[in-house]
Amino acid sequence: MERTGAVLIDIDGVLTVSWEPLPGAVEAMERLRAEDVPLALVTNTTSRTRDRIARRLTDAGFPVGPDDILTAPAVTAAHLREHHPGARCLLINTGDVRGDLSGVTLVEEEDAEGAVPDVVVLGGAGAAFTYAALNRAFRNVRQGAALVAMHRNLYWRTADGLDLDTGAFLLGLERAARTEAVVMGKPSGAFFAAALAHLGADPGRTLMVGDDIETDVLAAQRHGITGALVRTGKYRPETHAAADGTPDHVVDSFADVPALLERLGRLER
């Protein structure tokens, strides 16, 4: 029988900020587990592997494991294995996600000096996004390398405020190199399709919970998934008002999701 009533949940800004649990998030997750709601944590996080994310969330009290987590690096690896088998890939990423890139051949930066890699892969922004690294990516793409990005988020929320993310740099790289990257994380259709397939869920009976109105919520709605925007993380009233669409639901935080599912008839009262 097809599983229904599934929930896709963003992590950063929804469950945690800087990996610290938001109020009521652990309890809400425990409620979904108690009701046997099929769920997956879907994240563009590129600083940690699925195993490390699971350990961090478990330490914080969330009842989740690695199999509950779908990351942009994991989906990117699947794309590279299918569409660029055996390709030499230059990865520019802040954080070590090699554990989620099985079957992908990575070349070191110094090895790429004399030979153009087959694919340039952009992960998450941060200290690795130096001028030298981005200029090398620009030159490689101009010389024929394919450009793949794990996501194109413009910014993310930290304990210190909003920080620039990959999308801010990717836009300039695409324009300078006169190309368009293949983007694998949210809001790509490939990412949502992978999440639904992971749960065996129907989009019409699935809820996506996120703090990014464009990348999480409206993108999911374009793929037939019900969207719920939370007023935590990167949520800003002005961004909400200026968005290209309207979320199906808006709640204060993830703590309100069990009650929302009750109203939608997906949890028993």
**Residues forming the active site:** 10, 12
Checking phi first, is residue 265 left (phi over 0); if not, alpha (psi -120 to 50) or beta?
left
Buried (b) or exposed (e) across 79-113, using 16+ Cβ within 10 A?
bbeeebeebbbbbbbebebeebbeebeebeeeebe
Contact predicate 62/29, CB 8 Å: yes
The answer to whether residues 126 and 95 touch, using CB atoms and an 8 Å cutoff, is: yes
Q: CB under 8 Å to 175, separation ≥6 — which residues?
A: none
Contact 93, 86 (CB under 8 A): no
**What angle, rounded to 10 degrees, do the helices at 189-199 and 72-83 form?**
100
Distance CA(149)–CA(174), nearest Å, equals: 11
Instruction: Return the SS3 of 69.
Output: strand
Q: What is the DSSP string of 218-251?
A: IHHHHTT-EEEEESSTT--HHHHHHSSS--SEEE
